[in-house]
């Protein structure tokens, strides 16, 4: 087996199955997969099966089933491309189909979703807004994915928040998803933070006085940067497996992760990518975070060591709660029941009141 295939399976298998891939499909997609160059094609083929189920259900008027199948297909297409920078044409086609499937699913999700496009620096940021049942406006969770995740991956986490009457707004920021082709990865998220705030303030479903930020992996770095930029406008923040200084983690990152950052930052080589990683630092910004902060950390994280969160805990300017999961891996997908409900309850307690 290609070392890159082995690495993807070893690092991220629980993430796949926690975020919408069935165990049997994961086993089927990876069985006998020896070459990394075949990864995107193999996963796209399995994704296409679920897309066909969804399109068929849509044609027959079985709308709930259509939403379920198509949103699942979107996750599969996403995992076809997530760190597949081997062939950018293949990657982009898989991503196009992920976006297409989710867009088709949004009206039929429970609760439904709505696409929001935000002009930004001559390009666009794109988000998905979902609101719980009942009259709004609702307290809202701004959800930021990581280096290799996108809004298409976040359905299962959204559902945990929605069940607690929190609206969700999952966004592709610079270097992510629909924005990754025009806007490279950046350390400074003050501009995106303001653009997201402006867009959310215009949505009638959103109570902008009760806004929090959640981020995972590199999104766990972006979320505190957004909280620092928004100041008192951010009511709470969650960093799941986030870094304090991403550059400090560079030498232990998988080759796939480093290659992905190189492509999505626009760097010419590994040294240039490392230079970009060094700009992803909270050192000068942590003290500006005044919102309550929850740090969710896996002690077994092989990508972002738990000590990174300890540095943020010591440097932040506000109240911090730390949830250390002794068996947790990167993103803690292997121990999701031990943090997802707790995180949603923690946010709901800070965002909901009569």
User: Among 88, 78, 218, 213, which Cα is nearest to 152's?
Assistant: 78
The confidence score (pLDDT) of residue 352 equals 78
Percent of the chain clearing pLDDT 70 (strictly above): 99
Q: What's the CA gap between 77 and 75, in Å, rounded? A: 6
pLDDT beyond 70 at 110: yes
The confidence score (pLDDT) of residue 317 equals 84
Lay out the sheet containing 123-130: strands in order across.
Answer: 113-120, 123-130, 167-172, 138-144, 206-216, 234-240, 293-298, 320-325
Residue 182 DSSP symbol: T
Residue for token pair 């911090």 = 320
Q: What is the mean pLDDT of residues 1-7?
A: 92
Phi and psi at 305, nearest 5°, equal: -60, 150
Q: What's the CA gap between 347 and 354, in Å, rounded? A: 15
pLDDT digits (tens, 9 = 90+) for 23-46: 999 999 999 999 999 999 999 999
pTM over 0.75: yes
Q: Which helix (H) or strand (E) holds 113?
A: strand 113-120
Pairing of strands 123-130, 113-120: antiparallel
Q: What's the CA gap between 309 and 297, in Å, rounded? A: 7
Q: Taking a C-beta distance cutoff of 8 angstroms, is the pair 21, 340 a contact?
A: no
Q: What is the mean pLDDT of residues 57-61?
A: 98
Percent of the chain clearing pLDDT 90 (strictly above): 97
Q: What is the mean pLDDT of residues 336-341?
A: 98
pLDDT digits (tens, 9 = 90+) for 136-160: 999 999 999 999 999 999 999 999 9
pLDDT beyond 80 at 354: no
The confidence score (pLDDT) of residue 119 equals 96
Q: What is the mean pLDDT of residues 290-316?
A: 97
pLDDT digits (tens, 9 = 90+) for 259-295: 999 999 999 999 999 999 999 999 999 999 999 999 9
pLDDT beyond 70 at 353: no
Q: What's the CA gap between 160 and 341, in Å, rounded? A: 7
The confidence score (pLDDT) of residue 195 equals 98
Q: What share of the chain is helix, strand, coil (3-state, %, to 5)?
A: 55, 15, 30
CB atoms within 10 A of CB 5: 19
């Amino acid at each position: 087996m290609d070392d890159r295939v082995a690495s993807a399976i070893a690092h991220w298998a629980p993430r796949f199955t926690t975020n919408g891939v069935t165990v049997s499909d994961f086993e089927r997609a990876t069985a006998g997969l020896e070459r990394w160059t075949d990864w995107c094609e193999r996963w796209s083929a399995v994704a296409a099966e679920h897309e066909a189920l969804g399109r068929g259900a849509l044609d027959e008027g079985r709308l709930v089933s259509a939403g379920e199948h198509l949103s699942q297909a979107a996750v599969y297409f996403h995992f076809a491309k997530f760190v597949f920078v081997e062939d950018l044409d293949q990657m982009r086609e898989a991503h196009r189909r992920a976006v297409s499937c989710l867009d088709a699913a949004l009206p039929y999700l429970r609760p439904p979703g709505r696409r929001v496009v935000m002009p930004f620096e001559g390009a666009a940021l794109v988000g998905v807004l979902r609101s719980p049942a009942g009259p709004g406006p609702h307290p809202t969770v701004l959800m930021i994915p990581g280096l290799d995740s996108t809004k298409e991956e976040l359905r299962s986490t959204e559902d945990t928040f929605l069940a607690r009457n929190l609206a969700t707004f999952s966004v592709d920021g610079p270097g992510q998803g629909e924005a990754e082709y025009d806007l490279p990865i950046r350390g400074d998220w003050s501009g995106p933070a303001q653009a997201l705030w402006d867009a959310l303030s215009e949505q009638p479903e959103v109570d902008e006085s009760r806004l929090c930020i959640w981020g995972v992996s590199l999104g766990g770095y972006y979320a505190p940067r957004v909280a620092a930029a928004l100041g008192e406008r951010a009511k709470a923040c969650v960093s799941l497996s986030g870094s304090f200084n991403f550059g400090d983690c560079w030498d232990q990152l998988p080759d796939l992760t480093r290659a992905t950052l190189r492509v999505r930052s626009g760097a010419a080589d590994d040294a240039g990518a490392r230079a970009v990683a060094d700009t992803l630092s909270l050192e000068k910004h942590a003290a500006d975070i005044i919102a309550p902060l929850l740090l969710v950390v896996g002690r077994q994280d092989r990508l972002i060591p738990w000590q990174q969160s300890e540095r943020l805990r010591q440097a932040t300017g506000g109240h911090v709660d730390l949830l250390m999961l002794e068996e947790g891996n990167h993103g803690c997908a292997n121990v999701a029941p031990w943090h997802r409900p707790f995180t949603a309850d923690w946010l709901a307690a800070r965002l909901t009141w009569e």
